[in-house]
Amino acid sequence: MTTDAQGRVDYMNAAAERLTGWSAAEARGRPVEEVFRIAHEETHQPVESPVERVLREGVVVGLANHTVLLTRDGREIPISDSGAPIRDASGQVYGVVLIFRDQTAERNWQRHREAERQLLEEHAAAMPLEIWFTRLCLAYEKLHPGALCSALRVDRGRLHTIAAPSLPAEYCRAIEGVQIGPCVGSCGTAAYRNEIVIVEDIASSPLWAGYQELAARNQLAACWSFPIRDSKGHVLGTFAVYYPTPRGPTPEECQTLERWAHLASLVLEHHRTLADLQQSQARLAAAQARARLGSWELDLR
């Protein structure tokens, strides 16, 4: 995008038209602040246009971090941006060239990595299992508005809820203790097959026969379930995402869910290993008590 010396839009390329929602013909001659509206991503307070600073100071100006473009139809697009003066042969500034690009993908990547880092730190701090999995579900839901998550564990072939903070209580009660099998919804089937199960439309899926009325009553229309496996590939549980309308995952969502299911597997397997160790120690202590044996440590210093 370019402007004249008064900060009025002079030219826009196709990318600028697509991002702002304005056509070049409609924008030409309008104040740049009307077409290129920007705000702080978190406070939503207006941000000074770089065009104003370039015209005022005659220098190249870049946008601060966490800036969003407010499009003509009301969307918010994270952007990076810079403005530079356009000078004539005598060095006088007679306009500004404004370069900006969509940073949605980069911002999403940063948010996901930050959430994953936070989850790992919470696990390292020995956060209780149910609380950690609740945080996992809520973190995904925050990053993907509209999603409803659940984490289930498999015990003796049955599903038990670890966390499902946003799913209806009636639904969680109904599936508690369900036997896994080849046609037991998304999670029961994923655990049985030990593979990802994507159901884009619960109402028409044969995997959900017997559970479709329950899902409809609780406004659940799609469910994608990812196995949580231990280091040997055995199923420990499932991490699932529900949506209130039929839809399938994007390739990026699939990659994220596989990565988060792996993160869940590290935590759940670690928890099970600790539980097994505690049981072994308890059995050893009981055996020693029955045999009237003890254990000592000898310090030879």
The pLDDT assigned to 3 comes to 95
- Report pLDDT for 104: 86
- For residue 289, pLDDT over 70 is answered with no
Task: State the residue range of the domain holding 205.
Answer: 106-288
Residues 88 and 159 in one domain: no
Residue 226 sits in the same domain as residue 211? yes
Q: How many domains does the chain have?
A: 2
> Rounded mean pLDDT of 171-187?
97
**Are 92 and 114 within one domain?**
no
- 275 and 225 co-located in one domain: yes
73-122 confidence digits (pLDDT tens): 989 999 988 899 999 999 999 999 999 999 888 888 888 999 999 999 99
Residues 201 and 228 reside in one and the same domain: yes
Check: CB of residue 205 under 8 Å from CB of residue 225: no
Quote the pLDDT of residue 237: 96
Give a three-class secondary structure readout of 237-300: EEEEEEECCCCCCCHHHHHHHHHHHHHHHHHHHHHHHHHHHHHHHHHHHHHHHHCCCCCCCCCC
Boundary of a domain, candidates 102, 129, 164: 102
Read off the pLDDT of residues 147-172 as tens digits, 9 standing for 90 and up.
999 999 999 999 999 999 999 999 99
The last residue of a domain, from among 38, 68, 102 = 102
pLDDT range class, residue 48, cuts 50, 70, 90: confident
Is 16 a domain residue? yes
* 221 within a domain of the structure (yes/no): yes
Let me know if residue 47 belongs to a domain: yes
Q: How confident is the model at residue 126 (pLDDT cuts 50, 70, 90)?
A: confident
Last-in-domain residue among 102, 137, 169: 102
165 in any annotated domain: yes
| 211-247 per-position pLDDT tens digit | 999 999 999 999 999 999 999 999 999 999 999 999 9
pLDDT at 294 over 70: no
Bridge partner residues of 31 (DSSP): 8
Confidence band, pLDDT 50/70/90 cuts, at residue 47: confident
Report d(CA 213, CA 204) in Å as an integer: 11
Q: Return d(Cα 36, Cα 100) in angstroms, integer.
A: 10
Q: Which amino acid is at 106?
A: E
The answer to whether residues 142 and 97 belong to one domain is no
